Copies of this chain bind each other. A is one copy, B any other.
Amino acid sequence: MRRSSRVFVLRTLLWAGLLAQSVSVHAQDNLIWIELDPEDTVYLQLQEGMVVIELNPDFAPKTVEQFKKLLEEQFYRGLSFYRVIDGFVAQGGDESDLGDEHPVPMLEAEFEIDWPRKPKDKDEAKDWAPMSWTPVQKNDLFAAQTGFIDGFPAARDKAGNKAWLTHCPGAVAMARNDDPDTGSTDFYIVIGQAPRYLDRNLTVFGRVVWGMDVVQRIKRGPANQNGIIEADLDRSWIKRMRLASSVDAGELLEIYVADTNSKGFTDLLKSRRNRTQDFFDRKPPKVLDVCQVPVPARLEKSSTSRRLNQ
């Protein structure tokens, strides 16, 4: 192999046109980085590694509140991903959504919110900052408008009065039965091509911001059994699932996510919508799939990177 002599080539080609997916250096420079709030950050420790999830109480306040309580009780410790369909979702918990027994109260659906969101009471009105909308695309197959709302891929209806979080890869949502108000504890993570037909039909309440590669290693179930893995030992287990604010200071991971309102991010969107690189023999249509724009994230504390991979 000619690896050593290639290092320079690799480096110079790093931002070149070659299947260019990434942020351009320029756009990256203009990004504003926001540290995750430990009160809305979940550490999901699997046998396969560490996954970090950002919760979204703006879109799913009741679901997030109950989820946090469950984390406090270490509810998910020792539970598993019992229904995993490659290219679709990994579903975990105690399987309560498959039956009629629910260990905790069932949740009202939080499928969408009124837009723009307004403070719900005087208390909230005090330091009220309106939510942002960073537009991505009009009229994709599933929504009149797509965009980002404070880091989350989202969509709005034609009138712009309703907004919802979209089922992009990494979306974390509550499983439920036929009745919309039957979510309780079991959740799923989208691991495949965005199943956008589920939008507004399930409560998306978070997103994976770090460790999606770990999520992709969760053991799959048989497709012809709807992904159900009957034998416990064949499943990927949840070692621990905790709120970041509950861990010791030394265990905290300094994870920053790009501010989707920053100029750096809108530059990034622009460069992906309008691909002018020589590489593109035929210029692609000037469109963007909101689920094909990963929001940059970085881990600051290098000493913890080993722990991340366990």
Q: CB within 8 Å of B: which residues of A?
A: 1-3, 6-7, 9-10, 13-19, 21-22, 85-89, 91, 94-95, 97-99, 101, 109, 111, 137, 140-142, 168-169, 175-178, 180, 188, 191-202, 212-213, 216-217, 220, 223-226, 228, 230, 232, 272, 275, 277-282, 284-285, 287-289, 291-292, 294, 296, 298
- Given the contacts A3-B95, A281-B109, A212 and B19 also touching, CB distance less than 8 Å: no
Residues of B contacting A175 in the complex (Cβ-Cβ under 8 angstroms): 18-19
Q: How far is the CA of A294 from the CA of B88 in the complex (A)?
A: 10
Let me know if B201 and A279 touch, CB within 8 A: yes
- CB of A131 to closest CB in B, whole Å: 22
B14 touches A287 (CB 8 A): no
Whether the pair A142, B18 counts as a contact (CB closer than 8 A) is no
Q: Which residues of chain B are within 8 angstroms of A99 by Cβ–Cβ distance?
A: 2, 6, 9
Contact across chains for A169 and B188 when beta carbons are under 8 A apart: no
Question: In whole angstroms, how far apart are the Cα atoms of A176 and B3 in the complex?
Answer: 18
Among candidates B14, B89, B176, B197, residue contacting A284 with C-beta atoms closer than 8 Å: B197
Q: Measured between C-beta atoms, what is the minimum distance from A205 to chain B in Å?
A: 15
Residues of chain B contacted by A86 (CB below 8 angstroms)? 212-213, 216
| B contact residues around A281 at 8 Å (CB) | 109, 111, 180, 200-201
- Can you give 28 contacting A-B residue pairs, CB < 8 Å? A1-B94, A3-B95, A10-B95, A10-B230, A15-B226, A19-B188, A21-B85, A21-B88, A86-B212, A86-B216, A87-B212, A140-B140, A141-B141, A141-B285, A141-B287, A141-B288, A141-B289, A142-B285, A168-B193, A169-B193, A178-B278, A178-B279, A193-B194, A193-B289, A193-B292, A197-B275, A201-B281, A201-B282
Inter-chain contact B141/A87, CB cutoff 8 Å? no
- Which residue on B lies nearest to A216, using beta carbons? B216
Complex contact B193–A228 (CB within 8 A): no
Q: Is the CB of A284 within 8 A of B216?
A: no
Q: What chain B residues lie within 8 Å of A14 (beta carbons)?
A: 225-226, 228
With A194-B292, A196-B292 given, name 15 new contacts (CB 8 A): A2-B95, A2-B99, A6-B95, A6-B99, A7-B230, A10-B95, A10-B98, A19-B198, A22-B223, A87-B169, A168-B193, A178-B278, A201-B282, A201-B284, A217-B217
Interface centre among A15, A137, A280 (most CB of B within 10 A): A280
